[in-house]
Structure 1
Amino acid sequence: MAGYFSVLLVLLTLGSGLIWLIDHLMFAPKRNAHLAMAEASAGGKLDEETAALIAPEPMLTETAKSIFPMIAAITIFRSFMFEPFQIPSGSMMPTLLVGDFILVQKYSYGIKDPVWRSQLVDVGEPERGDIIVFKYPLDEKVDFIKRTIGLPGDKIVYRDKRLYIQPNCKAGETQQGELLCNEFNKIDFKLINDDEFKQGSMALARLNENLTTLNHDILINPQAPERKGRYYQQPGTPTDEWVVPADHYFMMGDNRDNSQDSRFWGFVPKENLVGKAVFIWMSFEFDNGPDDILPGWVPTGVRFERLGNIQ
């Protein structure tokens, strides 16, 4: 089921629309007839104030008529077109930072009903490299955002902080884009810097990774050991290797040593996909510390340079 806010919007839309419709079909004609009789007795059209006294419109109906168009527009926009999200953690650094406010394109991978999230229309499939908001498979009340690494049928290896992909190729294919079929392709990256981002006192290496569909930056903590003991163990595969099931996807955060993702809890089913992250529409800095007067949730600045399309 969708989040509580989505359900509330749908209920408000249906409720206000139903009140408006019932009044239009049943009660408004009676008010109009009563008003017509009063105008006939008066010998002319009555002013609005007098008409309102003779045939008053109930406050509930007036409120429903005033909010229905606005609520309906918001529901349609948020349910089927774009939904705003706030980045709550650093798991997608350096691509997305805490304080980024993004728009998620809801129709990228299909149109779903806003309450039960059942697929109504198929639109497209995720591509490797897409940044996607999805319902966390272990608790679908929680939204996660990660980058798509593995598509259905792909084999994924993450070993010694390097990513390897064996794509799911069609019969007769020898190459899928820049990835060779029937072998694990080592995904290339190159160092950009190692002093911009830190985890505590440890500097994180910023690398540019080539996923063959696009280049994007990731962060690696060279001093952090791999947590293989916590990896999701898929039956029949080595600890650090996964085969993506049909209609599922393998997701990873760009902040590789600070992300709870498919390496730890498994795959994301297609029905859990919410949409593709496409745009940063606002980005706030939150630099207030424990000794500052203002609380930590109060913004201290705006990062205008971050506004724009998401890569």
Structure 2
Amino acid sequence: MNYFLTYTVYVLILSVLMGISTWKLFKKLGYNPLFAFIPFYNYFIILKETKHPKWWAILSYLPIVGPIMMSVFHLYLMSKFGKTSFKDKLLTVILPFIYMATINYGKDVKLEDENDLFLTDEEKSAKKKDSFIGSVTFAVVFATIIHVFVTQPFGIPTGSMERTLLVGDFLFVNKWSYGYRLPMRPLAIPFLQGTIMDTGEKGNPKDDPKSYVDAVKLPYERILQFSKPQKNDIVVFNYPQDSVHTAIDRKDPYVKRCVAVAGDTFEMRAGRLFVNGKPETVLGDQEVQHAYTVNTGTQLDIPGMYNTYGFLPVREMQNDKGGFTYMFQGLTDKTAKDIKTMPNVISMEENIYPKDSATISYKLNADKTAYTKSIDTTQSIFPINKPWNQDWYGPLKIPKKGDVVTINQESLPMYQWVISEYEHNSLENKNGKIFINGKETNQYTIQQDYYMMIGDNRDASLDARFFGFVPEENIVGRPMFTWMSLQGAFKDASSSYQAPFKIRWDRMFKATNTGEANKTSYWWIAAMILILFFGWEYFVKLFRKKNTEED
């Protein structure tokens, strides 16, 4: 209810501003000036008077698309009073209620005659151009509505979900899978997630220009939630510990597999995953993968291996024995067996971190000749006070709504983000005492469900083992199908080699969340939709021409 109350206030404020700045103009149009204050109806009148589809009025206050359509409607209204110059249009878009108010309270404002019989050729051309711009604008708005309220495209830039989802797969995500999460930043640029542009590695990401207005915000609310994420679902969610964006729905989108739900106990033993003490269930479209270190006497033909095995992230370095060392991040059992039998392979060992050891990363030397081990402080295991790593992790119980958990110095690192960031409480830890919302306490009641999201390619995945629990409010939805798949579309930072570019036709228009090894391709349905979309107007014109000839 908080969401709808805030949204109602937002609509009323805009309606009051609209009424104050245009009531005289509505009176000149022949309407009661009070109509200028009525939400939706005020824009309905504008569309009626300017001979545009009146149902567009329902778009006027929708999140994201509302501000766009309002600007269009304001331009329509100004055109009724002869304000059609570039300066007029710019001021109407940039300072709508201020500029319209100057026209509204001006003494010389007059209603223009819209009768086409009295228009010059130049004016008719301008009107036709405005109609075209209006059509293009509505096409953009329609696409934005689909993007915001129905489904969202999503690309796979990393190998964390190989070989279930491949680097270069482009998906459509169903936003209604777990109930629709209402937009929380209603003023935003369409199609952009968090920022307008990236200022680069030297800049601070927090300084990148935002694609949304953070000051205008709505609380979290989810509607029509008939199901929640289940074990083995592939889920798209907003990265919980994104420090750049405070808006939940503007945080970076991630895709992982939900391996444990609220109330489950998650554990990794020597790189193998267990839930509630039982080994994971490997679905038909999953392939178990592990990291390996391979020592060879001569170089391996990595480009040729890419052609044979597909995804193959690897780092190559010369070793002190005159040979080469290769660090593969994700090899299936079959691929590992094939590589081990190659004549130039001297040794091959699966990489498993020792129990109770810190997370280790490999960084390229300044002269770019070799990699050295280093402690990776940017990918600290969650929680930071546990002697765990990505191969030996847990057991960790996933918080469930209604759970009462003990809060002390030992458990605080586990629940700190839950209390302060995800459930929006004030939290203080001073003089050995813990204060929540100003009150000293040693327990806390969990307010929402949490999930453990892990990549299928476990040794190449930045997942919940590093950033912790994923709150329910961060869930976006389930991927529906892969509409395009391009090998080599993204540069793999974890590999010394770039995969050769090619289109993977066999993956296009296949469902992503079935768990089946051999998924059905629905490319023929996509082809029919495209034919209907582009051919409809042609067939309509042909039909009209035929009827005209018969008459």
Please indicate the TM-score interval, normalised by the length of the shorter structure.
Answer: 0.5 to 0.7
1:29-48 to 2 correspondences below 5 Å:
34-36=113-115, 45-46=117-118
* 1:234 to 1:165, Cα distance in 2 relative to 1, 3 A: farther
* 1:266 to 1:50, Cα distance in 2 relative to 1, 3 A: closer
The structural deviation recorded for 1:82 is: 1.2
Structure 2: how far apart are the matches of 1:225 and 1:50? 75
Say yes or no: does 1:265 pair with 2:344: no
Answer yes or no: is the 8 Å Cα contact 1:17–1:64 preserved in 2.
Answer: no
Say yes or no: does 1:160 pair with 2:160: no
Say yes or no: does 1:52 pair with 2:253: no
> What residue in structure 1 maps to residue 383 of structure 2?
233
> What residue in structure 2 maps to residue 242 of structure 1?
396
More helix by share: 2
Residues 167-189 of structure 1: per-residue CA shift (max 9 Å, x gap) = xxxxxxxxxxxxxxxxx222355
* 1:270 to 1:159, Cα distance in 2 relative to 1, 3 A: same
> What residue in structure 1 maps to residue 408 of structure 2?
none
Whose Rg is larger?
2
* 1:253 to 1:266, Cα distance in 2 relative to 1, 3 A: same
1:106-145 to 2 correspondences below 5 Å:
106-116=175-185, 118-123=220-225, 124-139=227-242, 141-145=251-255
* 1:186 to 1:120, Cα distance in 2 relative to 1, 3 A: closer
Residues 28-81 of structure 1: per-residue CA shift (max 9 Å, x gap) = 387986245xx8xxxxx457727638xx6597x657623332122111111121
* 1:15 to 1:68, Cα distance in 2 relative to 1, 3 A: farther
Letter in 1 for 2:272: R
The structural deviation recorded for 1:15 is: 3.8
Answer yes or no: is the 8 Å Cα contact 1:35–1:51 preserved in 2.
Answer: no
Structure 1: how far apart are the matches of 2:153 and 2:280? 32
Size of the aligned set, in residue pairs, is 256
* 1:119 to 1:283, Cα distance in 2 relative to 1, 3 A: same
Say yes or no: does 1:21 pair with 2:67: no
* 1:244 to 1:57, Cα distance in 2 relative to 1, 3 A: same
Q: Unaligned regions of 5+ residues in structure 1, if any?
A: 1-8, 40-44, 167-183, 209-220, 290-295
Answer yes or no: is the 8 Å Cα contact 2:288–2:332 preserved in 1.
Answer: yes
Correspondence for 2:153 among 84, 87, 91? 84
Letter in 2 for 1:150: A
Answer yes or no: is the 8 Å Cα contact 1:147–1:254 preserved in 2.
Answer: yes
3-state SS in 2 of match to 1:245? coil
Task: Kindly report the root-mean-square deviation, in angstroms, between the aligned alpha carbons of the 2 structures.
Answer: 4.0
* 1:132 to 1:35, Cα distance in 2 relative to 1, 3 A: closer
> What residue in structure 2 maps to residue 174 of structure 1?
none
3-state SS in 1 of match to 2:274? strand
More strand by share: 1
3-state SS in 1 of match to 2:460? coil
* 1:269 to 1:207, Cα distance in 2 relative to 1, 3 A: farther
TM-score (norm 1): 0.67
> What residue in structure 2 maps to residue 218 of structure 1?
none
Aligned residues: percent identity? 29
Q: Unaligned regions of 5+ residues in structure 2, if any?
A: 1-61, 83-109, 186-217, 246-250, 291-307, 315-325, 335-347, 360-380, 401-448, 492-497, 516-551
Residues 220-243 of structure 1: per-residue CA shift (max 9 Å, x gap) = x96112376343138899852111
Structure 2: how far apart are the matches of 1:234 and 1:154? 21
Correspondence for 1:72 among 123, 133, 141? 141
TM-score (norm 2): 0.40
Answer yes or no: is the 8 Å Cα contact 1:20–1:64 preserved in 2.
Answer: no
3-state SS in 1 of match to 2:483? strand
